[in-house]
A and B are shown apart, each in its own frame.
Chain A
Amino acid sequence: MGAGHGHRLHFHGHSPLHRAPAHLKVLGLLGFMLVVVATPRQAYGVFVAEALVLLGAVAVSRVPLTYLLPRMVVEVPFALFAVLVPFISHGPRTEVLGVTVSEPGLVAGTALLVKGTIGVLASLTLAATTEPQDLLRGLQRLRTPDLLVQIMGFMVRYLDVVTAEMARMTVAMRSRGCDPRSPRHWPVLARSLGALFIRSYERGERVHLAMLSRGYDGRLPR
């Protein structure tokens, strides 16, 4: 709540990528990722070229890789699956480092890992260089339905308020000897989630009334 205005992944900067209009960045990311996804599995040269384009974009953004790399942990569960694929696939066997694995599985697993990694790094670059407010304006320019952009705007605005409220509830629970992860304490956890819902809902009502009293007529001023 008391934090800065950016969201958690945003990296403050003034690079050309930071200044670029958000709608172009979203379209660029979408186009780039569609090309990556459509790249054939064994076109390793193309993967290298795509990775270089992405790293070039990261360099232009001047967001340090040491900032982006630790944040790629969201990929871990998926990377585990990609590593498993060569072992659970069928097809002719081949030997890698003394372990027998499926050959088409190895190719597929590698491609999954490469595509997934490029995707996560590209999305992180967008998130690191784009303020939420700019992103919303960009989505508006891309003709996203107005209602959807408004809902997203409220979510972005109140994200920290509601998650901080929940964090305070969990701290209160833990300090009273309750472990929110343990199924034994689910009834307590559920009651606090219920309270969180009621508080969020009532906050929504208050926000709506406050907006009405300031002349809200169903659409936000541009």
Chain B
Amino acid sequence: MHVPDGFLDAPTSLATAGVAAAGVAVALRGARRELDDRTAPMAGLVATFVFAAQMITFPIGAGTSGHLLGGALAAVLVGPWSAVLCLSVVLGVQALLMADGGITALGTNITLLGLVTVVVGWGVFVALRRVLPKRTALVAPAAAVGAFASVPVAALVFTGLFAVGGNAPVDLSAVVVAMLAWHTAIGLGEAAITGLVVASIVAVRPDLVHGARPLLAHRELEVREVATS
């Protein structure tokens, strides 16, 4: 899913690099609010976690497999700003130290896999959280729906970029259909794993899940009388 060098033409690559730089700059300001002075070590470890989680592959069919993108998962777990930083760092390390994704396409990759998945995943999640009853048990399903939506939207944005700066004379409608079908399948896997992971963390340490914190605030301290005999 990483866009390599030369897939999109130079102007499109530069434009998406601008978008990515602006997004990361905004996220740098926002992340300090989410994690205060703990930002660097915490975001670093969460980035490592996202990288490790991306190693999980799942079969999609026809002998191929997809892997977790983790944008929505990271957004629900640590908040959208930190998630953008984590994913950008993961993509940067992959491009510079692992030759995974081209260096001229780094902006495109950050825009698609960092910004779009986090914004869509978090947006859908927050909208659902507002509508659904305020129960922690519903955090995981909302996260799953957010994760599901984030993948095809990222694929659509990619197709849009391909229409503007694609380097191949391919019929666009065919690309849209193929990309959507393919990434809906990946989205189902992404949704299942995101939902299950969030559910397992909410069950053990709900205080660590950023998206569940507003729901936890409603709990009040109960002081019970101890019966003295």
Contact = CB atoms under 8 A, between A and B. Distances in A.
Contacts, number: 249
A34 B98 CA distance: 19
Given A151-B44, A162-B49, A104 B95 contact: no
A194 to B, nearest CB: 3
A181 B57 contact: yes
Interface residues of B, number: 68
Interface stretch (B116-124, B151-159, B193-201): B193-201
A18 to B, nearest CB: 15
A33 B10 CA distance: 10
A157 B93 CA distance: 12
A207 B44 CA distance: 11
A74 B169 contact: no
Closest 8 CB pairs of A and B: A154-B44, A115-B6, A119-B5, A190-B196, A194-B200, A204-B45, A123-B99, A150-B40
Interface of A: 7-9, 26, 29-30, 33-34, 36-38, 41, 71-72, 74-75, 78, 85, 88-91, 102, 104-105, 108-109, 111-112, 114-116, 118-120, 122-124, 126-127, 130, 132, 135, 145, 147-148, 150-159, 161-163, 165-166, 180-181, 183, 186-187, 189-191, 193-198, 200-201, 203-205, 207-208, 211, 218
Given A114-B6, A201-B42, 14 more contacts: A89-B170, A111-B167, A115-B7, A120-B4, A135-B97, A151-B85, A151-B86, A155-B47, A155-B48, A157-B44, A180-B56, A200-B45, A205-B42, A207-B41
